[in-house]
Amino acid sequence: MQRYTTTAIVLHWLIAVLIIGAFTLGLVMTDIPGISPTKLKYFSWHKWAGVTVLLLATIRLLWRLKNRPPALPDSMPAWQRGAAHGLHHLLYVLIFAVPLSGYFYTLAAGFPVVWFGLFQLPVFIAKNPALADTLKPIHYWLNMVMAGLVGLHVVAALKHQFVDRDGTLGRMLPGRSH
């Protein structure tokens, strides 16, 4: 069976690790009461990881538009192909929408985003507390939707690996053909 390209595999796993890290950090940092140096540090790391996801997602989407993924196994029923494609589309939307909502929220809350303390992202939203109050729950809920869909995605991957044994997971793993 054909695999995804090495570029697609590297980007898939790099983005997955960064998203899981940013998600966990997001929950931990917002639970720290008051203001402390640790909290501020975690907020910075969170934003750096999130902006990195945005950058990698852009490269990934461009790569994906030029490189078709390998065909799904013939044994797969039509509804499963449809579900997999629909879910993958939604995940592509969310790997942009989640970091963008965090970025827009941060600007509306009146803070610039300085990637790794080096490169300042454009400030195209002026401080706007009402908008910040709207964007904060949007960032939260987009995250919860993404968490649910990633959960489904992982359950589907494990089902293909251990129940159907059709080599689907191997397509997304480095150096394995099945």
Which residues of this chain interact with ligand HEM, rule CB under 6 A? 8, 12, 16, 19-20, 22-23, 26-27, 30, 46-47, 50-51, 53, 64, 69, 72, 84, 88, 91-92, 95, 98-99, 102-103, 105-106, 113, 136, 139-140, 143, 150, 153-154, 157, 168-169, 171-172
CA distance 112 to 110: 7
- What is the chain's length? 178
Task: Provide, rounded to whole angstroms, the least separation between the CB of residue 82 and ligand HEM.
Answer: 12
Written as one string, the DSSP assignment of 148-170 is HHHHHHHHHHHHIIIII--STGG
Cβ count near 143 (within 10 Å) = 20
Q: For ligand HEM, which is the closer residue by CB, 10 or 69?
A: 69
Task: Provide, rounded to whole angstroms, the least separation between the CB of residue 29 and ligand HEM.
Answer: 7
CA distance 169 to 159: 10
Q: For ligand HEM, which is the closer residue by CB, 30 or 134?
A: 30
Task: Provide, rounded to whole angstroms, the least separation between the CB of residue 51 and ligand HEM.
Answer: 5
Residue 99 token pair = 């970091």
Q: For ligand HEM, which is the closer residue by CB, 83 or 150?
A: 150
Q: Contacts by 117-125 with C-beta closer than 8 Å and gap 24+?
A: 117/44, 121/51
Residue showing tokens 């970091």: 99
Task: Provide, rounded to whole angstroms, the least separation between the CB of residue 178 and ligand HEM.
Answer: 12
Q: For ligand HEM, which is the closer residue by CB, 83 or 84?
A: 84
Task: Provide, rounded to whole angstroms, the least separation between the CB of residue 11 and ligand HEM.
Answer: 9
E-strand stretches of 23-84: none
